[in-house]
Structure 1
C-alpha cells in the first residue's frame, strides 16, 4: 500500500502507525545525546520542529517502551538504539495553544500549563504513587507553583528523570509583542512577569542534587523571548547554527529526491525527478543555518509536502505555489518591520537586500525585544524568521545573508511595498500592475508595464527622494516586478560572460507558463544629462544584450522567437528611453 503524504501532520506515532511517508531524522538522536543536556533550537515556522519533538518524545518516553519496535524498528535509531531510549518521563508543552489576548493571556497560560502537568502526573501515577496528589494540593492552578511542587516531589523520590520539551515557546509572546507592543510584553517577560517566573522555576528544576528535569529541548522562531525571560539564555545550549544540526529539520535535496523517486515508482507522476525539482527548488530550497554547511541547503519541509500532496491528489501542480498557511505565518511576522517616521534604518536594510540581493551581518545569538530594531539585531531577526539564509562568508569571517528563494523574496518585497504605502511615499494599483505583467508575459506588451510605473513615479513626487542612482532604480523595479508569479525574476543574472540586470525566466510554478522570456538592461544617468549621453548608454546596453542573448539558458526562447531584449534608460527619476532589439537591428526610442 502506497505511503500517504504527511502534510500538516505532526503526530509521529500516527505517521508510523498509519502508513505515512516519514523522512528519517532519528540519526540525530545520537548527536543530541552528545550535546549538553539543555538545548535550544530556532527555526522558521512550519519547518518540521513539532514533528521532531514528537519523535523525540516517543523515543525517550518510558510509556512507549513496549512499542519501540513498531515506532522505530524500520528507522536508523531502531537499528542503533542508545541506552537512554524509553528511560524518561516526558513533559511536553506547546505554547501555540496559549491565548495571546492580553486580557486573558496569563489565565490561559496557567490553565494550559497546569492541565498539561496534571495530565503528566495522571499518566505516570503508577510510578509516582498516589501520594503525589497530596504534595500538589493547593498548587493546581498556578503553573510555576505546580511545576515547583512536581520538581520537589520527584527530586525527593529519585530515579524518575524528566525530559522537558517546549514547542513554539515564543508563539504567544511574539503575538503580544506585535499586537500590543513592548509595554504589555515587558509585563509578561520581565521582573515579576508570569512567563519569567515560570522559566525561573524551570531553571531551578534543572539544577541541584536530584533535579527532576534531566534534559530539556526548547524550540521557537527567535531568541528574543528567551533572552528576556532568562537574562541572556543561561539555561541551555543554543544549537541553532551548530553545523551538526543544520539538517535536523527541513528536507535535504537527497531526502526530497528519495521521496520523489518513491512516488514516481508508485506511479503518482510521469515527469522526471529533475523536472519536479525544477519547480520546487527555486521556491522552497536554499535555507542554510550554519556557516560550515554552505553546500547543505535545506528545503522547507512544509512547502514540499504541500506541493506533493496537491500534485498527487489533483494530478497537477498547485495554482498557488505558496501554501496559504505559510502566507498567514508571513503576515504574522510583519511586526518585525519596525518603521520609524520616514522609514528609518531597518527599511534601508530591506531596500539594500532588494537592491543587492544580499547583506553582510554578524548573527546575534541573543537580544531583547527592546533591541530588535537595532540594525544588526534586525538583520539577525530576518535570518531567524527564514527571510534570509546564510549564503557565504566574507574573507573577514562575516556571514553573507541572502534571500533563500522566490517565495520568501515575494514576501520581503511585499514588506518593502507596504512601507512605501504606509508612509504615503508611493502607491500603485497592484491589481493593475499584475494585469500589465500578464500582458507582458503572454502578449509581449512590455511597454505598457514600464510606462505605467514611470507615470506613477512622475505623479507621486515623494518617492523621488528614494530614487537616486542605478542601484535604487533596480531595487525599486525588482520589488514591484518581483511579486509577479508569471516569472522567476533574476537580478544580475550571469549570461555569456556578463551579467544581465534582469532575467525574466518563465516560472514553471505559474498557473500557466508564459511564452515570452525577457532580458532587461537598465541604465541610469543623472538629472541634466544630455540626449547624447542617454543614447550612448542605450547603445552600450544594446551590445550587452546581444552578448547575453547567446547564453544557453535562453537559447530555446531565442530559437522560437520568444526572447525579448529590452533596454530602459532613466534620467534621475524619469524614464526617458525604452527600446527593444529585434533581429539585431536598431530601433528608435519609444520614449523621448
Structure 2
C-alpha cells in the first residue's frame, strides 16, 4: 500500500489534518503528516508509565492514536516513516484506549455514562465479565482478560485524563465526585503493573490533589523533558521540510517572499518552550495547519476555545496583568502545584497562554511569557472586557480609533477618547484600586501594539508608555493623583526621551494627570521633545 502524500488535484494544496485525531485515517486518506515516529519508537521501547501535559489542540490525541497503531502492529501505516527502519517485530498487543474528550461533563451522570460505555466495550472485546462490580474492579478484570487473550503485556492509553476536572473547575462538589471516581479508576494501573506493557496518560493540567500522581508514583512526567520537547507541536525545521509547497502558496497569496512568510509564521505561531534547556521554540500545530490550508493569517488556535474560567480567576484575584508577561515563578509551582483559583499562573501556563521564556538554574525559577502574537493579542483582546467597559466585539474597533488619532497627530482627540472610555466604566466598578486603572492603561497601550510599535512600561526609569508612528514617537507619563505638570516634568527630569533621540523621528511628550477623586483623566499637556 502506497501511503505517500500526493496532491489530489495539481495546483491545489495538499490535505491538512486539521482536527484529525486518528493516525490510521490520516495515513490512509492521504493527509500530510509530520513524522514523529522516531520519538514514538523511543517512548514505546522504554516501557516506563508516562505522563505528558500539553495545551489543547497540540497533537496529544494524534500521538496516542499513533502509539495505538504501533502497538496493534499495523505496520502498513508506517511505511516510509522513521519507525519503519527501527522496528522489526511489529508484535500486536491488546490496547485499552480511554478517550475522555467526547463528553461535556456537566453532571456526574455524564462521567458514569462514559466509563460504563468504555468498560462495556472492553469487556465484550476481551471476554471479561465484571458487571456489577465497581468501575476500578471492572477495569482490573479487563486488563487481566486482555493479557490472557494475547499473552502479551497490555497497553493503556488515557487521553485528556483531566477533562472532567477542568469542566467542573467552578463546581467544587461536582469536582470532588469526579476526583474520587477517577482517582480510584486510574490508580488500578499501579496494581495492574504485572499485566501491563506500556502506559501513557495525557492531559492539559497536572492536578496534584487528584491523587493520581501520588498513587501512581511510578509515572514518568515528561512534560518538561528536553528529549520530548518536540513530541507535540512543530519545529521550524519540520515546517520548512514538510510544507514547502504550502509555504510557497502562502507567500504568493499574501504577496510575501519566503523569508517574510517564515518571519510572520514565527511571530504569530512560534515560541512555545516545554523544557528548561535552550532549545528551539515549537510552533502551534493547529494554527500552522490552518494557515497552510486557508492561506490567510488568523488567530486559529485561540478562537477554538475561550479562556473564560482563566479570566474569571484573574478578575477574582485582582491579578496585576502588567506582570503576567514576564512573571517569575518557582519551578515547583508548575510541576507540583495544586490547581488553585487563588493562583491563576500555573493554570494559565498549562493551558498554553504562557510558556517558558527562561530558567534560572541557581534559584530554580522559571520566567514565563506569552509565546507569540496570536496568544498575546488574542488573550489581551479577550481579557479587556473583564477590566473595562469595552464589549468583546468592539475591542479592536476602539484600539483602531486610538491608533488613527495618534497617526494623524491628534493627541487631544486620543486623550479625549480615553477620558470618555474611563467615564463609561460602570459606577459599581469604580470603587477600584489605583492598580486597576494602571492595568487599564496597560491594556490600551499593549493592544495598540497590534497595529503600531507600542511599548508599555511599569519599571522605574522608563516612561509609562511609548507609541511610535511612521514619523513621530509619543512618550506618555500618567500621574495618578498628580498633575499634568508633574507628569511632564518627570519625562524631562528622568531622561525618558533619551532612548528615542536617535530614531530620526519627531518626539512628542505627553504629561497626563489622573484625578483620584473623579477616577478619570483630569488634564494633559502636549509638548515637543
- Matched residue, 1:187: 177
- Matched residue, 2:443: 479
SS of the equivalent of 2:52 reads: strand
TM-score (norm 2): 0.82
Q: Which runs of structure 2 are paired with 1:154-303 in the superposition (5 Å)?
A: 154=146, 159-178=151-170, 181-190=171-180, 194-206=181-193, 211-224=194-207, 227-229=210-212, 231=214, 233-264=216-247, 269=252, 271-292=256-277, 294-303=278-287
Select the residue among 310, 314, 323 that pairs with 1:352: 323
Q: Which runs of 5+ in 1 are unaligned?
A: 122-132, 312-316, 421-425, 506-514, 551-557, 559-563, 581-585, 588-592
* 1:71 has 2:77 as partner: yes
Q: Is the contact between residue 6 and residue 20 of structure 1 (CA under 8 Å) also seen in structure 2? A: yes
Q: Is the contact between residue 287 and residue 390 of structure 1 (CA under 8 Å) also seen in structure 2? A: yes
Aligned partners of 2:202 and 2:228: how far apart in 1?
13
Q: Is the contact between residue 467 and residue 572 of structure 1 (CA under 8 Å) also seen in structure 2? A: no
Residue deviations 1:236-267, cap 9 Å, x none?
A: 11110111111100011211222342435689
Check 1:108–1:154 CA distance in 2 against 1; reply closer, same or farther (3 A cut).
Answer: closer
Residue deviations 1:433-483, cap 9 Å, x none?
A: 533433454573564343222333356575585335xxx766433323444
* 1:571 has 2:513 as partner: yes
Q: Is the contact between residue 18 and residue 289 of structure 2 (CA under 8 Å) also seen in structure 1? A: yes
| TM-superposed deviation, 1:47 | 0.7
* 1:373 has 2:367 as partner: no
* 1:46 has 2:57 as partner: yes
CA RMSD of aligned residues (A): 3.6
Residue deviations 1:38-97, cap 9 Å, x none?
A: 0000000011111111111111213x2xxx1x32221111122265x4442222121012
Residue deviations 1:396-436, cap 9 Å, x none?
A: 2311111112222234435643543xxxxx42456665334
* 1:304 has 2:288 as partner: yes
* 1:92 has 2:97 as partner: yes
Check 1:386–1:197 CA distance in 2 against 1; reply closer, same or farther (3 A cut).
Answer: same
Aligned partners of 2:276 and 2:452: how far apart in 1?
27
Residue deviations 1:126-168, cap 9 Å, x none?
A: xxxxxxx3xx235289643432222333455672211111111
- Matched residue, 2:303: 327
Check 1:534–1:169 CA distance in 2 against 1; reply closer, same or farther (3 A cut).
Answer: same
Aligned partners of 2:462 and 2:289: how far apart in 1?
35
Q: Is the contact between residue 491 and residue 509 of structure 2 (CA under 8 Å) also seen in structure 1? A: no
Aligned partners of 2:450 and 2:466: how far apart in 1?
13
SS of the equivalent of 2:119 reads: helix
- Tell me the number of residue pairs that the alignment of Structure 1 and Structure 2 aligns: 501
- Matched residue, 2:416: 451
Aligned partners of 2:95 and 2:392: how far apart in 1?
50
Aligned partners of 1:254 and 1:79: how far apart in 2?
21
Moved more, 534-543 or 238-247: 534-543
SS of the equivalent of 1:281 reads: helix
- Matched residue, 1:561: none
Aligned partners of 1:474 and 1:364: how far apart in 2?
28
- Matched residue, 1:59: 70
Check 1:440–1:570 CA distance in 2 against 1; reply closer, same or farther (3 A cut).
Answer: closer
TM-score (norm 1): 0.74
Q: Which runs of structure 2 are paired with 1:414-493 in the superposition (5 Å)?
A: 414=381, 416-420=383-387, 426-428=388-390, 434-441=396-403, 444-445=407-408, 447=411, 448-457=413-422, 460=425, 463=430, 465-467=432-434, 475-483=439-447, 486-487=450-451, 491=455
Aligned partners of 1:579 and 1:482: how far apart in 2?
21
Q: Is the contact between residue 10 and residue 51 of structure 1 (CA under 8 Å) also seen in structure 2? A: yes
Residue deviations 1:474-493, cap 9 Å, x none?
A: 64333234446952665369
* 1:144 has 2:144 as partner: no
Aligned partners of 1:565 and 1:431: how far apart in 2?
33
Select the residue among 100, 110, 115 that pairs with 1:110: 115
Q: Is the contact between residue 227 and residue 367 of structure 1 (CA under 8 Å) also seen in structure 2? A: no
Check 1:433–1:48 CA distance in 2 against 1; reply closer, same or farther (3 A cut).
Answer: closer
